[in-house]
Structure 1
Amino acid sequence: MVYPNGKMNEKKVFKDPVHKYVHVDDQVIWDLIGTAEFQRLRRVKQLGTTFFTFHGAEHSRFNHSLGVYEIIRRMIDNVFDGRPAWNTEDRLLCLCAALLHDVGHGPFSHSFEKVFHLDHEHFTQRIILGDTEINQVLREVDREFPKKVAEVIAKTSDNKLAISMISSQIDADRMDYLLRDAYFTGVTYGNFDMERILRVMRPHGDQVVIKYSGMHAVEHYIMSRYQMYWQVYFHPVTRSAEVILTKILHRAKALHKQYYSFRHQPVHFYSLFEDEVTIEDYLKLDENIMYYYFQVWQEEEDAILSDLCRRFVNRNLFKYVDFTEKYHGLNNWMELSSLCKKAGIDPDYYLVVDSTSDLPYDFYRAGEEEERLPIMLLMPNGELRELSRESSIVEAITGKKRMDQKLFYPYDTLYEDGRKGKVKEKIISILEGKG
């Protein structure tokens, strides 16, 4: 379809629990939403395995993508429009990049990516630039338009302002997922005054800045993000489910390499196992497909794959202890692994260390590998000041990375039938800090 004026005859709205309404009056946005690749996001959860901890966390990447689009639309139409630093020709570019920024996510997102060494941003670009319905829609705007959208998402575009709106330390992506994830998990940590932040945002050169009068709203936003990471995203029960999920995929891949004869052949995984993933293969994968395999693999003859799938499907998760100094010594770790093997417990699949870390706010420091664009305040005199220079709250957490390590293990296997035996008793003693 060609877009002569770009506008629909009648505005469409989605009812949304976070933003109340998502408004669509650009035909290209409506057509993108209707593509098969975007509709696939309905079948990919936003928070992966978090629903094992917070049962309401069943929302999808589809929900979130619409939310990011809506925040960008409000930024542009309600705040930026008419301001000298804003180029109205960038409107559609920003809206499309916001809508499509997560279109390349696979099932269970980051866990899935780690096992198969994939990058969802890479697949997002391939979907936008490849032989897809999304590409066809974008090309109706302009032959070069898919490339421009992909470059904004990849953060390689010359349009740094567009990148800042979608990917920075205070962007539409983060604002939506904090509010949305807080809503669906039932917690209050992620709530902040988004409407206030939007009202004090300003386009300024290559980035979005915040009027000084809105500093306290930004402080609240940063602390909300900090709390959400440690109370929700890094919850140890969620991480336990991720550990089991990861080990299922590792085991299935290892069995494939060993020419194991699956009762239920993993046809959807062959290209992943062989590191030859095409766009067509990738787009066929969603969490419904994954759950089918987890369900049927419970019947496999391989005891490890069968057990791990049973645990995941039935939420029989691993227990955990803090991975403290007593486990770090090579001798201690080797002893624990050796004892597990004697007890018939494969430490490669049932003794797992998981590490998490978060840096709630930082700014670029010369010589560091990763550039972090700071949040800049627009002072009353027109000067720009980096946020932590004005906020003592933000200064207190700037550049401070918090880390957490947990050791996950099958508590029920160690205690099964009440008959532990000397080897299992020794393992338990070590895990409980008595060994």
Structure 2
Amino acid sequence: MKEKIFRDPIHNQIVVDHPVVYDLINTPEFQRLRRIKQLGTTGFTFHGGEHSRFSHCLGVYHLARQVTRTFSENYAEHWQADDNLLTMVAALLHDLGHGPYSHTFEGLFATDHEQFTQEIITSPTTAINQILTKVAPDFPDKVASVINHTYPNKQVIQLISSQIDCDRMDYLLRDSYMTGVQYGQFDLARILSSLRPLDSGLVFTKGGYHAVEDYLISRYQMYMQVYFHPASRAMEVLLKNLLKRAQVLYPTHQNFFRKESPKLIPFFDKTYTLKDYLKLDDSILNTYIQAWMDSTDPILSDLSQRFINRRVLKSVTFAEKDEPVIQQLRQEIAAIGFDPAYYTAINSSFDLPYDIYRPESNKPRTQIDILQDDNSLLELSQESPLVASLMGTVHGDRRFYFPKEMLFAEDLFASHKERFLQLLASLN
């Protein structure tokens, strides 16, 4: 086919020169990703972070295309060129099953974006599946097996999902650029040039380990400064609580929800299908929340207005030993008139920046190995004292969220405000 060019702020030009890839991009299921934000509620904090999963998936495909070409041309003894198309397609489709506001929606409605990704790929009802089946009858199952980590070639899986893969490399650079921060920047060209396929998996040359080290530090900083930002998590809490309120109201207010949010009915009823799921995106959910602003239920109406108009909840960090104080804070909030079930929340965000392979763990990680001059392998933290300091350490915090009004209560509620502030001070 004549190559198609997608102009991209991160990679400049993304080239599509395979008809299967181009046809997949033009399916309704993939075009839907234009309407799913990559960063969810983070856009409420970093206003430039409005980019979509469509652009991210194109970026992951682009990196996979670069790597597979390099492997085929230079390392044919360790790389099977027959896996090139499979790798590019899996990279392109890896986020296909994400729903509106992704993880928040998943937690409340018991959906799983990875399962939906596999179902979109393997279901004969989708345009995606019909295109993949033309490659080979078993090709959809092969793509799905890369997504669920069961494909026999570990190299392919590691290019899509490992501690340093095409997915993470694209989203760190893309999210960093779009949010206007510098934390996620690293030397992509050096990492790609030092990447090598071995029969046992992917490794990096010794000369490139500083670039890999820089990548891990950048990843750590993006999580601490952007992905775990307290204000973004505050908006996530609001979204979770207003959807929870809608679930509680639905049995007694079905007519309202059927009129104002019809595409959510199968999810309230727990009867949703793949077809129902594919009808949802961020714009649909935002439209419904705007409609809920006019609800006769004061809690749903107020929470919806807070979310749409970005009235952020305040928060404070606390330790497990402070749980009794948190309960007292909730009592003061209730005394002023806020239902703690909907106006408070505990949100925990923790990340493990890097760890070695531990087969006994629930989700073993693929460690990063550095190829030595004598062709032996050395695990990255043994080469880098900086990475060793991060290895196995968990970073993040636990926050208690509450209405901002608690800090400004007046007149009749002044005593509750004073008590509330005293309890907050005891947490620090």
Letter in 1 for 2:134: E
Cα contact 1:364–1:373 (8 A) shared by 2: yes
In the alignment, what sits opposite 1:268?
Answer: 263
Cα distance change on mapping 1:346 and 1:176 into 2, 3 Å:
same
1:36 aligned to 2:28? yes
Where structure 2 has 5 or more consecutive residues not aligned to the other structure, the ranges are none
Q: Quick check: 1:227 aligned with 2:221?
A: yes
Alpha-carbon distance in structure 1 between the residues aligned to 2:212 and 2:17: 30
After TM superposition, list the pairs within 5 Å mapping 1:231-246 onto structure 2.
231-246=225-240
367-376 or 251-260: which moved more?
251-260
Structure 2 CA distance for partners of 1:187 and 1:406, relative to 1, 3 Å? same
Match of 1:60 in 2: 52
* TM-score, normalised with respect to structure 2: 0.96
Alpha-carbon distance, 1:325 to partner:
5.3
Q: Residues 52 and 315 of structure 1 are in contact (CA less than 8 Å); yes or no, is this contact kept in structure 2?
A: yes
Shift of 1:353: 0.9
1:75 has 2:67 as partner = yes
The answer for the alignment partner of 2:95 in structure 1 is 102
The C-alpha deviation readout for 1:370-391, integer Å capped at 9, x for no partner, is 1001011111111111111111
In the aligned structure 2, how far is the partner of 1:120 from the partner of 1:232?
22
Q: Deviations over 1:286-336 (max 9, x none)?
A: 01101101111100011111111101110111011112456323xx34333
Counterpart of 2:295? 300
Aligned partner of 1:182 in structure 2 is 176
For 2:209, what is the secondary structure of its paired residue? helix
Letter aligned with residue 181 of structure 1 = D
Work out whether residues 315 and 402 of structure 2, in 8 Å CA contact, stay in contact via their aligned partners in 1.
yes
Partners of 2:377 and 2:112 in 1: CA distance: 35
Q: Which moved more, 1:44-53 or 1:202-211?
A: 202-211
Root-mean-square deviation (CA, aligned residues, Å) is: 1.7
5 Å-filtered alignment, 1:386-425, equals 386-412=379-405, 415=408, 420-425=413-418
| CA deviation after TM superposition for structure 1 residue 19, in Å | 0.5
Shift of 1:396: 0.9
Is the CA contact (8 Å cut-off) linking 1:362 and 1:398 kept in structure 2?
yes
- Structure 1: gaps of 5 or more residues: 1-7
Higher mean displacement: 367-376 or 213-222: 367-376
**Shift, 1:79, TM fit:** 4.2
Aligned residue type for 2:354: Y
Q: Are residues 143 and 194 of structure 1, via their aligned partners in 2, closer, same or farther at CA, if it must alter by over 3 Å?
A: same
How many Å separate the matches in 2 of 1:208 and 1:367? 21
Partner Cα distance (1:382, 1:326) in 2: 50
For residues 62 and 325 of structure 1, what CA distance do their matches in structure 2 show? 40
Map 1:22-421 → 2, pairs under 5 A: 22-83=14-75, 84-130=77-123, 131-259=125-253, 261-262=255-256, 264-324=259-319, 327-329=322-324, 332-412=325-405, 415=408, 420-421=413-414
What code does the residue aligned with 2:214 have? H
Q: For 1:417 and 1:303, locate their aligned partners in 2 and report how far apart those are by CA, in whole Å.
A: 22
> Does the residue aligned with 2:389 lie in a helix, a strand or coil?
helix
Percent identical: 47
Secondary structure of the corresponding residue to residue 124 of structure 1: helix
Q: Determine helix, strand or coil for the equivalent of 1:262.
A: helix
> TM-score when scaled to structure 1?
0.94
Q: Is the 8 A contact 2:352 2:395 kept in 1?
A: yes
- Return 378-387 or 38-47, whichever deviates more: 378-387
Displacement of 1:157 in angstroms is: 1.2
